[in-house]
Amino acid sequence: MSAEHLWPQWIERLNPKYKGRYAFQTGGGATGKATLSWVKRSIDMKAHVVCEPCNNTWMSDVDEEARGTMKDMILHSAHVTLLPRGIKSIAAFAFKTSAIADSIDDHYSKPFFSYSDCKGFSAALAIPDGVQLWLAEFRGKHPFSGMYTTQYAKINQGRFRGFGLYIFTYLVGSLSVQLTALRWASIAKRPQLRPTLIQSSDWQRASVALWPNEKPVVWPPTSYLDNESIDQFCERWSKLEDFGLHQGLLG
């Protein structure tokens, strides 16, 4: 198996004049795990979860395509209008990275995304049904920050009881990408309706729906996230009792 970067090397190269050290922290917060901190000279977080041919071919192509779309958004909060190719490049990068993070998380005995989900993505960059993405702008205390979180939940009430929910939030520089995925996680017969997450009106000014989407997407939004509200953004789907009431789970 080959080591795939959670933070691609092109992200580190966006700031070539920086000669200092990078501070890392993992665990803590809502994870319930002990907080670990360390310092390194490079952004070197890898996961040995992909084969070397994939890492050096189509996965590298996904990173390169995303770099062209995302670099100015990350560095300068560049105002952009994303067309289908740009939308697809960010969506592919986000799904690839979320699947890697999911595969190394020990929350469940097996990854959230199935083998067929990953196989379909590797063959044709087909993002599975039930995956949604949002974009937000981040203005933090430090000029260049990064973060990712993974969260898992199961809906235990209402007409969508039995669906599992995965939430992946990825922040680098000025750009934050949030991916959610819903899958049928029960042994009972699956309902005909497929739920869709709809963000509450409180988030409309700070979060732009990216995927699935057939229309151009204008970024950044009219409002932005800071060091306090980014935590709320990561946790905004965590209150399952709000589903179908405020957040709006619809078929």
- Write out pLDDT tens, residues 22-75: 766 666 555 556 677 767 776 666 555 555 555 556 677 888 899 999 999 999
Q: Of 247 and 147, which is predicted with more confidence?
A: 147
Q: Work out the pLDDT band at 249, boundaries 50, 70, 90.
A: very low
DSSP string, the chain: -EEEESS-HHHHTTSTT--S-EEEEES-GGG-SPPEEEEESS---EEEEE-HHHHHTHHHHHHHHHHHHHHHHHHH---EEE-HHHHHHHHHHHHHHHHHHHHH--SSSS-SS-HHHHHHHHHH--PPTTEEEEEEEB--SSSS-EEEEEEEEE--SSTTTTEEEEEEEEEETTEEEEEEEEEE-SSSPPPS---EE---GGGTTTEEEEES-SS-EEES-SS-B-TTHHHHHHHTT--GGGTTTTS-EE-
Sign of CA dihedral 212, 214, 215, 218: positive
Confidence (pLDDT) at 248: 36
Of the candidates 215, 229, 110, 126, which has an alpha carbon nearest to the alpha carbon of residue 169? 229
What size, in residues, is the chain?
251
Cβ burial of 169 (10 Å; 0-12, 13-18, 19+) is: buried
Q: Work out the pLDDT band at 180, boundaries 50, 70, 90.
A: very high
- Write out pLDDT tens, residues 85-144: 999 999 999 999 998 888 776 655 678 888 888 888 888 888 998 899 999 999 988 777
Q: How far apart are CA 122 and CA 159, in angstroms?
A: 33
Confidence (pLDDT) at 133: 97
**Cβ contacts of 193 within 8 Å, gap of 6 or more:** 159, 160, 251
